[in-house]
DNA sequence: TTCAGAATACCCCATCTGGGTGATTGCCTT
DNA sequence: AAGGCAATCACCCAGATGGGGTATTCTGAA
């Protein structure tokens, strides 16, 4: 029995690249090209009536960017897997794409055979990424630099972020509220902030807690 | 000219798996097995004197876990790339490994050829992950559920997280401080929190801002 | 059309916060 | 031996915060 081919659509403004991709897809067994679009607008207009499993999306498009397109596509058809295809590898492009709902991210220098492999992988529930992209993504989890805070301070910052006030923190770790306040003042000065909200934000962003 | 092989060390408590991995590595051109260890302790004791590019690390080990081992290895030898090899695919294992500094994560059912490919990739600055793992990692960037906050509220929460007080926020968006306060009260009740710190924490964790 | 929610604005008030200043003890490094 | 930092505790005070209300307008869904 013949397996249903993976239905693919392409959004890519460069005519040559778009057509080449389409040709490769059409010429390969198990892959089917449902549609191609030169911009996000036309793709979004038709997406509802389209049978499609995987979308290849360029980021740099005239008008609506590929990233915004992905965001809208995921709203309209949450089951479509969007695979970004871009020359950009800056954090801005990569992480905004992922946040928008991209299920994979390939650089444009990826050879055709690997693009096809990535399409299969994304369709099987994977998240293919070019090697540089994957590394960047993992690196985003590492603490940026080592904490300037002492252990005690980190502990108190943790409790602070739970919304406890001086007194509650003091009770929790058996210290005087004055001491807590002292620590918090030190935390502020080390993190260069002036309020709990800022401190919590910085702590999370810098992965201190 | 002969290229220097990739030097690999293994930490794995299962004798059979460890020896099989070592054999595969030894038997493949371009790969060299520097050492194998049945536990983290022995690996950490010797790591300083070891020439090694990539470490294969199991997570579930007697004594010090693979995750803690990675954290210590990265402290001692930051240039070593650690590739986790585990049966576990729960968030706990995956994200703690990544935070500890792992540069890749393979499930144990990965066939040998792919393990070798992953070793090469990690050594070239990539971050090979089993398909399920990569997807999980990307999913960690998506907003968990859609925001319960209105646009205005989100805007104000954003400013709140920058450490602005009622008055400053009011000035920034040309509203009365009373209004800001009203909005913030609504934000608190929607997020089920009672302070700025908690609100900011929840907002970031739930990717509302 | 009616009702809910969003956005706007105001009042009261007890409590909490952040900034300033100062002190003691102990540990570590120099 | 000295200076520095972490950790502890203390006091003062102006201003901010959070919780309790109330009210109007507008929009969109039921």
Q: A143-175 pLDDT, tens per residue?
A: 877 889 999 999 999 999 999 999 999 999 999
Where residue B102 falls among pLDDT bands split at 50, 70, 90?
Answer: very high
Model pLDDT, residue B1: 62
For chain A, the straight-line distance linking the first and the last C-alpha, in angstroms and rounded, comes to 54
Residues A114 and A193 grouped into a single domain: no
The verdict on B131 and B168 lying in the same domain is no
Residues A86 and A167 both lie in one domain: no
pLDDT band of residue B39 (cuts 50, 70, 90) is very high
Regarding whether B104 and B82 lie in a shared domain, the answer is yes
CATH of the domain at A36: 3.40.50.2300
With CB atoms and an 8 Å threshold, state whether A193 touches B163: yes
Number of folded domains in chain B?
Answer: 2
- Is A21 within a domain? yes
Q: What angle do CA B80, B84, B87 make, to 5 degrees?
A: 170
Q: Mark which of B99, B116, B139 sits at the end of a domain.
A: B139
What was the pLDDT predicted at A1? Answer: 62
Q: Which tens digits make up the pLDDT trace of A2-19?
A: 679 999 999 999 999 999
Q: φ, ψ for residue B135 (rounded to 5)? A: -65, -40
Q: Identify the burial level of B42 via C-beta atoms within 10 angstroms of its C-beta, where 0-12 means exposed, 13-18 middle and 19 or more buried.
A: middle
Whether A134 and B134 lie within 8 Å, measured CB to CB: yes
Q: Are B39 and B60 members of one domain?
A: yes
Pair (B176, B102) in one structural domain: no
Q: Would residue A145 count as lying in a domain? A: no
Q: How many other C-beta atoms are found inside a 10 Å radius of the C-beta of residue B26? A: 11
Burial of A5 (0-12, 13-18, 19+ CB in 10 A): middle
Domain for residue A1, yes or no?
A: no
- A160: which chain B residues are within 8 Å (Cβ-Cβ)? 197
CATH of the domain at A163: 1.10.10.10
CA-closest candidate to residue A111, choices A21, A12, A172, A43: A21
Q: Domain boundary residue among A83, A108, A139?
A: A139
pLDDT (tens digit, 9 = 90+) per residue, B124-155?
A: 999 999 999 999 999 999 887 788 999 999 99
The answer to whether A163 contacts B193, with C-beta atoms less than 8 Å apart, is yes
Average pLDDT, chain A: 95
The integer distance in angstroms from the CA atom of A209 to the C1' atom of C16 is: 24
Question: Using the beta-carbon criterion (under 8 Å), do B201 and A204 form an inter-chain contact?
Answer: yes
Nearest chain B CA: its distance from A96 CA (Å):
9
Residues A125 and A39 in one domain: yes
Cα–Cα distances in angstroms (integers) from residue A182 to residues A16, A138, A151, A166, in the given order = 65, 36, 15, 10
What is residue A7's predicted lDDT score, i.e. its pLDDT? Answer: 98
- Same domain for A118 and A157, yes or no, is no
What angle, 0 to 180 degrees and rounded to 10, lies between the N-to-C axes of helices B151-161 and B166-173? 130
A126 touches chain B (CB under 8 A): yes
Mutation target among A141, A147, A158, A160 for the B interface, most CBs of B within 10 A:
A141
Mean pLDDT of B60-85: 94
- Is A74 found in the same domain as A24? yes
Kindly tell me if the per-residue pLDDT of B43 is higher than 70: yes
Range of the domain at B94: 6-139
Residues in chain B: 209
Q: Quick one: A91 and A11 in the same domain?
A: yes
Q: Which nucleotide is nearest to B196 (CA to C1')?
A: D17
Query: What does the CA dihedral A62, A102, A52, A23 come to, rounded to 10 degrees?
Result: 60
Does residue A159 sit in the same domain as residue A134? no
B12 inside domain: yes
pLDDT the model gives residue B149: 94
- Flag whether B145 is in a domain: no
Residue B45 domain-assigned (yes or no): yes
On whether residue A146 sits in a domain, the answer given is no
Q: How far apart are CA B84 and CA A21, in angstroms?
A: 35
pTM assigned to the model: 0.88
* Domain final residue pick, A96, A111, A139: A139
Footprint of strand C on the protein (CB under 7 A): A 165-167, 181-182, 184-185, 188, 194-196; B 150-153, 175-179, 181-183, 186, 195
Nearest-CA residue relative to C1' of C15: A165
Residues A198 and A127 in one domain: no
Nucleotide nearest to B185 (CA to C1'): D18
Q: Which residues from chain B sit within 8 angstroms of residue A99, using beta carbons?
A: 141-143, 207
């Amino acid at each position: 029995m013949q397996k249903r081919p993976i239905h693919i659509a392409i959004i890519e403004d460069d005519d040559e690249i778009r057509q080449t991709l389409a040709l490769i897809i059409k010429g390969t067994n198990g892959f089917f090209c449902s549609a191609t679009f030169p911009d996000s607008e036309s793709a979004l207009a038709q997406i509802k009536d389209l049978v499609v499993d995987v979308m290849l999306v360029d980021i740099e498009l005239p008008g609506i960017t590929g990233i915004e397109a992905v965001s809208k596509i995921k709203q309209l058809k949450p089951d479509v897997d969007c695979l970004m295809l871009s020359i950009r590898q800056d954090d801005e492009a990569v992480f905004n794409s992922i946040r928008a709902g991209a299920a994979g991210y390939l650089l444009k220098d990826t050879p055709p055979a690997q693009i096809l492999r990535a399409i299969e992988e994304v369709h099987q529930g994977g998240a293919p990424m070019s090697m540089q992209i994957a590394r960047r993504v993992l690196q985003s989890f590492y603490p940026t630099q080592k904490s300037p805070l002492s252990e005690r301070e980190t502990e108190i910052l943790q409790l602070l972020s739970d919304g406890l006030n001086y007194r509650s923190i003091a009770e929790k770790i058996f210290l005087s509220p004055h001491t807590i306040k002292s620590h918090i003042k030190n935390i502020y000065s080390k993190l260069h902030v002036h309020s709990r909200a800022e401190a919590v934000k910085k702590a999370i962003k810098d992965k201190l807690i």
